[in-house]
Amino acid sequence: MKATLILENGSVLSGTSIGSTETRVCELVFNTSMTGYQEILTDPSYAGQGVVMSYPLIGNYGVNSEDNESSHPWVEMLVVRHLSPRGSNFRREMDLGDYMKEHDIPGIEGVDTRALTKMLRSQGSMNAMLTCAQQFDVGQVLERLHAYKVRDTIQKVTRSAPEEFPAIGEERYHVAMMDYGVKQNMIDCLRRRGCSVTALPASTPAETVLSGGYDGVLLSNGPGDPAENTDMIREIKKLYDSGLPLYGICLGHQMLALATGARTGKMDYGHRGGNHPVRDVERGRVFITSQNHGYMVLADTVDPVVAQVSHINANDGTCEGLRYRRPNCFSTQFHPEANPGPRDMEYLFDRFVASMGGKTNE
């Protein structure tokens, strides 16, 4: 079946429908990963967004139930050059196309994703509509696209009630995970280090967290504009002032910066992929990281009395991490828990665990 992708700038691209045939409107972004499409589909940080995969062959190893990063997919649409008709892998449980149909994810193949990625990179991320309709008014579609905005996404992806995850092996610490759209492997990275984890709804008051007997708090990743979440930012400031060990990742990093007086801004096209080089200022080394964000902390708004930039993107010089002057508090823009990889930065979970043991210079 023919499918059509209409972009906010007026571009109209034709291809073949894959997955659901439902018409969908969303913000369109691109991801440069060669693998990990299942983890991308199930990453809550993509709520409200459609993804263009720049790598030309997607779906070649199928889908399995073990690699999901949440209970179900969050991506609004998927744009690929070629969808593999059958996955080939001993862990495969179903093919990607069938998975998309099962979860009502519309998609399109046959698009020149290289040209589309270059367009999004030069003109910035933009809204798009995917439709299988044979007749449509481009002018009316463009009006709808210009009016669309991703809003209230954290409320859509967060848990409705606390959920417990036991430590793997002997329990050393108990961590409160503020679920703004947390990925499962973020929880598992702590569990493998002897931490039991309580995942808490995003709206949980700071007072509830501080009275829970936790050894530390992790502020998770999540979707949307961090500056919109004024109530959550106010509660994060209380957690910061408490002195409890605190680590923020991606959206958690951004909201922690906002809570301490810095500002954030929207990037032209963001960082999304598994090959972003980041320089660790303290170690003097460059690591390859997995990233998924369209907003950033503006480094020049960070008060040096409060924090210092600890990690810098080696490509564009943007802020990738903050080390706070307050003991046992730091944050990173990238994903150290990345699945399927790279895992160069998992040592940051070791630093967080060490901070709960009272060590401040790990």
Report pLDDT digits (tens) over 16-69.
999 999 999 999 999 999 999 999 999 999 999 999 999 999 999 999 999 999
Of 115, 10, 144, nearest in space to 52 by CA: 115
Task: Reply yes or no on whether the pLDDT at 359 is more than 70.
Answer: no
d(CA 132, CA 338): 34
- In terms of Cα–Cα distance, which of 36, 136, 22 is closest to 77? 22
Q: Binning pLDDT at 50, 70 and 90, where does residue 361 land?
A: very low
CATH of the domain at 41: 3.50.30.20
pLDDT in tens, 188-210: 999 999 999 999 999 999 999 99
pLDDT digits (tens, 9 = 90+) for 76-86: 999 999 999 99
For residue 111, what pLDDT is reported?
96
Residue at a domain's end among 132, 150, 168: 150
pLDDT at 123 over 60: yes
pTM, two decimal places:
0.95
Rounded distance between C-alpha atoms, residue 315 and residue 103, angstroms: 36
Regarding beta strands 49-53 and 24-31, do their DSSP bridges make them parallel or antiparallel, or are they unpaired?
Answer: parallel
Q: Answer yes or no: do 231 and 319 share one domain.
A: yes
Which residues are known catalytic residues? 250, 335, 337
For the CA atoms of 198, 199, 201, 205, what is the dihedral angle to 10 degrees? 40
83 and 106 share a domain? Answer: yes
The reply to whether 53 falls in a domain is: yes
Structure confidence at residue 213 (pLDDT): 97
Is 247 annotated in a binding site? The answer is: no
Q: How far is Cα 344 from Cα 112, in angstroms, rounded to an integer?
A: 32
> Are 67 and 188 part of one and the same domain?
no
pLDDT, residue 119, reads 97
Closest CA to 292 of 199, 183, 197: 183
246-274: burial string, b at 16+ Cβ within 10 Å, e else: bbbbbbbbbbbbbbbebebeeeebbbbbb
Domain of 322?
Answer: 154-356
Check the CA dihedral 46-266-56-275 and report its sign.
negative
- The owner of tokens 């009016």 is 147
Q: What is the rounded average pLDDT of the residues 264-270? A: 96
Flag whether 169 is marked binding. no
Residues 45, 223 contacting (CB under 8 angstroms):
yes
Taking residues 270-294, what's their average pLDDT?
A: 95
347 labelled as ligand-binding? no
CATH number of the CATH domain containing 304: 3.40.50.880
Instruction: Specify whether 76 is located in the same domain as 178.
Output: no
- My answer on whether 182 and 144 are in the same domain is no
Q: Does 295 carry a binding-site annotation?
A: yes
Task: Kindly state whether residues 259 and 192 are assigned to the same domain.
Answer: yes
pLDDT, position 362: 46
Residue-wise pLDDT for 235-247, tens only, equals 999 999 999 999 9
Does residue 362 lie in a domain region?
no
Q: Is the peptide bond before 342 cis (omega within 30 degrees of 0)?
A: yes
Task: Please name every residue paired with 325 in a beta bridge, in sequence order, or none if there are none.
Answer: none
Residues 11 and 179: their CA atoms lie apart, in Å, by 37
How many domains in the chain?
A: 2
Quote the pLDDT of residue 340. Answer: 77
* CA gap 219, 251 in Å, rounded: 8
45 carries a ligand binding annotation: yes
Q: Are residues 195 and 229 in the same domain?
A: yes
Pick from 100, 120, 150: which residue ends a domain? 150
How large is the average pLDDT for residues 278-286?
95
48 labeled part of a ligand binding site: no
Q: How far apart are CA 255 and CA 227, in angstroms?
A: 7
Alpha helices per DSSP H over 243-346:
251-259
Give the whole-angstrom CA distance, residue 220 versus residue 246.
11
Within the chain, where are the H helices?
Answer: 37-41, 96-102, 113-123, 138-147, 153-157, 184-191, 206-210, 230-242, 251-259, 347-356
Q: What does the pLDDT look like over 214-235, one tens digit per residue?
A: 999 999 999 999 999 999 999 9
344 pLDDT tier (thresholds 50, 70, 90)? confident
Q: Quick one: 131 and 51 in the same domain?
A: yes
Residue 177 has pLDDT above 90, yes or no: yes
Specify the DSSP element, H or E, that contains 168: none
Q: Which of 129, 150, 171 is the last residue of a domain?
A: 150
Reduced 3-state DSSP string for 105-165: CEEEECCCHHHHHHHHHHHCCEEEEEECCCCCCHHHHHHHHHHCCCCCHHHHHCCCCCEEE
Name the percent of the chain lying above pLDDT 90.
Answer: 96
- The answer on 238 and 123 residing in a single domain is no
Half-sphere exposure of 300 (CA within 13 A, CB side): 2
**Stretch 331-348: mean pLDDT:** 90
Structural element, H or E, at residue 215:
none
Cβ atoms of 348 and 337 closer than 8 Å: no
Q: Are residues 192 and 265 in the same domain?
A: yes
Residue 360: pLDDT band with limits 50, 70, 90: low
